[in-house]
């Protein structure tokens, strides 16, 4: 099992990795399949199923699908160009992705939200179709957006191709127990093992520059969120709060007015800044998803700005450790809110962040595993019930609280010796089982929880 640090942390666009990025990635894959086909195509169609239908409008799934079919990809997404392209597509009822002439595609008629049963493979299903000159479907592919921007076709999912198939890596741990055993035998940290695995897969020079870029985008996102105010899009009239809170925190600095718990406001405000940017459709890093994108950056920023002796040279170690933990959660359970509720998103993010912080503060592999376990354990059972299908309430504040739990968990773990009762593997399996048992109402459908109990929403 190998998931690169650059699989866990991908530059993308808001508001959702599974509902915005995933469909755009699926559309790009579909266009590649059409390009490789010997046949000629004249038009495109798409249908969205399960959670992609139920919360698709709030998560901009429709827009992401249309733009994806027009050739946009998350990595280079430009919102100004996208707005212009959308207007043109609506006007001409065609898309013109690279390598094709104009393909008939009227977003009002050719993109359907199917509110029937989920497709069999996953709660986030979509079918993309290509038509001939008569408008008959001559090629189609079913894709599943399985969380964190990862996409699989129906056949890949059936083959269990969610696992890596490349060359073997030196430390192929599939569980936390294996990870600790390998660390002990090799006398290496989790980050050192992860780094060795990445290098074995050909990532050498690019590892340093790639992780530096990931942190740069994360930090830029925090800074943008701390300077933007106003109302978030989507109709819920949620006011951006990060800037106001940050301004107040800066004004109070050095005045000796604050209770010690004010440090929590700093952690919250960094995370909220990211998630407000995400909700506004800005550029974020999936960590491991967009909905949970604030927890890891907020914890890194807390470390750099508030922990004495912290240094930016340790951010790579932080990200590698986080990615190792995120890979274990993804491989053995889920990082998808549509599959297992918010425990899989903010819970996973908190486990990753806690592990990263524990590592850069000198934690042993056992303490790092303990930190991840504490953070995940205290998110178990958490549902996903976004109001109006928007990644705003409860998501924005929830990332702040996720960061606070991550820091607390790392701190608790560092005060121990790494010995603890609940192994991380047991906690991950509990999360998986809880996700299986969880009602569909609480898995990113907005059919239960806060989504149905807020007046006038
Ligand atoms: S409630 Fe959690 S899982 Fe659901 S959209 Fe918000 S952050 Fe994602």
Return the ∠ at Cα 270 (arms to 410 and 151), rounded to 5°.
Answer: 80
Distances (CA, A) of 279 to 56, 92, 341: 14, 29, 19
Contact 285, 254 (CB under 8 A): no
The fold of the 176-453 domain, in CATH, is: 2-methylcitrate dehydratase PrpD (1.10.4100)
- Residue 426 CB-half CA count within 13 A: 6
Closest to 403 (Cα-Cα) out of 329, 317, 322 = 322
Closest to 14 (Cα-Cα) out of 244, 234, 241, 300 = 234
DSSP element (H, E) containing 355: helix 346-360
Beta strands 103-104; 94-95: pairing state: antiparallel
Q: Return the SS3 of 316.
A: helix
Q: Following DSSP, what letter does each residue of 140-184 receive, concatenated?
A: EEEEEEEETTEEEEHHHHHTTTTS--SS--S----SHHHHHHHHH
- Cα(71) to centroid(ligand 1), Å: 28
Return the ∠ at Cα 9 (arms to 324 and 183), rounded to 5°.
Answer: 15
Locate the domains of the chain by residue range. 16-158, 176-453
pLDDT by residue for the chain (457 residues), tens only, comes to: 789 999 999 998 899 999 999 999 999 999 999 999 999 999 999 999 999 999 999 889 999 999 999 999 988 888 889 999 999 999 999 999 999 999 999 999 999 999 999 999 999 999 999 999 999 999 999 999 998 899 999 999 988 765 556 778 999 999 999 999 999 999 999 999 999 999 998 877 789 999 999 999 999 999 999 999 999 999 999 999 999 999 999 999 888 777 899 999 999 999 999 999 999 998 899 999 999 999 999 999 999 999 999 999 999 999 999 999 999 999 999 999 999 999 999 999 999 999 999 999 999 999 999 999 999 999 999 999 999 999 999 999 999 999 999 999 999 999 999 999 999 999 999 999 999 999 999 999 999 999 999 977 6
Query: Whose C-alpha lies nearest to ligand 1, atom 2?
Result: 342
Cβ–ligand 1 distance for 384 under 6 Å, the answer: yes
Closest to 60 (Cα-Cα) out of 16, 28, 91 = 16
- Cα(431) to centroid(ligand 1), Å: 15
- Cα(48) to centroid(ligand 1), Å: 19
- Cα(134) to centroid(ligand 1), Å: 42
Cβ–ligand 1 distance for 13 under 6 Å, the answer: no
CA–CA separation, 98 vs 27, rounded Å? 13
Contact 294, 406 (CB under 8 A): no
Query: Whose C-alpha lies nearest to ligand 1, atom 1?
Result: 384
Cβ–ligand 1 distance for 339 under 6 Å, the answer: no
Closest to 146 (Cα-Cα) out of 343, 336, 15, 289 = 336
Cβ–ligand 1 distance for 346 under 6 Å, the answer: yes
Helix then strand then coil, % of the chain, to nearest 5: 55, 10, 35
Closest to 292 (Cα-Cα) out of 187, 133, 406, 419 = 406
CATH of domain 16-158: 3.30.1330.90
Distances (CA, A) of 100 to 32, 43, 71, 84, 163: 11, 10, 10, 19, 33
Supply the pTM of this predicted model: 0.90
Contact 337, 345 (CB under 8 A): yes
- Cα(386) to centroid(ligand 1), Å: 6
Cβ–ligand 1 distance for 337 under 6 Å, the answer: yes
């Amino acid at each position: 099992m190998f998931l690169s640090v650059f699989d866990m942390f991908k530059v993308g666009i808001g508001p959702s990795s599974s509902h915005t990025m995933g469909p755009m990635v699926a559309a790009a894959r579909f266009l590649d399949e059409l390009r490789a086909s010997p046949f000629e195509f004249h038009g495109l169609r798409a249908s969205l199923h399960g959670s992609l239908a139920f919360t698709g409008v709030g998560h901009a799934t429709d827009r992401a699908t249309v733009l994806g079919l027009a050739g946009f990809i998350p990595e280079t997404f430009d919102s100004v160009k996208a707005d212009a392209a959308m207007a043109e597509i609506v006007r001409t009822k065609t898309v013109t992705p690279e390598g094709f002439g104009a393909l008939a595609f009227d977003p009002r008629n050719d993109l359907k939200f199917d509110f029937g049963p989920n497709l069999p493979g996953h709660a986030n299903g979509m079918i993309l179709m290509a038509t001939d000159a008569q408008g008959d479907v001559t090629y189609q592919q079913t894709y599943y957006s399985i969380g964190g921007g990862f996409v699989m076709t129906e056949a890949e999912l059936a083959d269990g191709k969610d696992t890596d198939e490349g060359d073997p890596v030196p430390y192929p741990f599939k569980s936390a127990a294996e990870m600790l055993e390998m660390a002990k035998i090799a006398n290496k940290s989790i980050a050192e093992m992860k780094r060795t695995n990445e290098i074995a897969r050909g990532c050498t020079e690019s590892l340093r520059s790639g992780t530096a870029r990931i942190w740069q985008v994360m930090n830029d996102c925090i800074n943008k969120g701390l300077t933007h105010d106003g109302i978030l899009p989507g109709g819920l009239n949620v006011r951006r709060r990060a800037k106001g809170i940050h301004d107040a925190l800066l004004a109070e600095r050095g005045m000796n007015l604050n209770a010690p718990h004010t440090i929590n406001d700093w952690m919250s405000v960094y995370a909220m800044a990211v998630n407000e940017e995400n909700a506004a459709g800005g550029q974020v890093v999936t960590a491991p998803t967009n909905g949970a994108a604030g927890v890891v950056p907020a914890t890194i920023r807390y470390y750099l700005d508030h922990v004495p002796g912290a240094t930016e040279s340790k951010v790579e170690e932080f990200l590698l450790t986080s990615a190792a933990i995120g890979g274990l959660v993804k491989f053995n359970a889920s990082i998808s809110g549509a599959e297992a509720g918010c425990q899989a998103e903010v819970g996973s993010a908190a486990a990753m962040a806690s592990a990263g912080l524990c590592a850069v503060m000198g934690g042993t592999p056992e303490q790092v595993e303990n930190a991840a376990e504490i953070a995940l354990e205290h998110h178990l059972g958490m549902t996903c019930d976004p109001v109006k299908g928007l990644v705003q309430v409860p998501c924005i504040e929830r990332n702040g609280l996720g960061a606070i739990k991550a820091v607390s968990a790392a701190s608790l773990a560092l005060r121990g010796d790494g010995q603890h009762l609940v192994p991380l593997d047991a906690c991950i399996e509990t999360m998986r089982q809880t996700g299986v048992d969880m009602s569909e109402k609480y898995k990113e459908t907005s059919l239960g929880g806060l989504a149905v109990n807020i007046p006038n929403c």
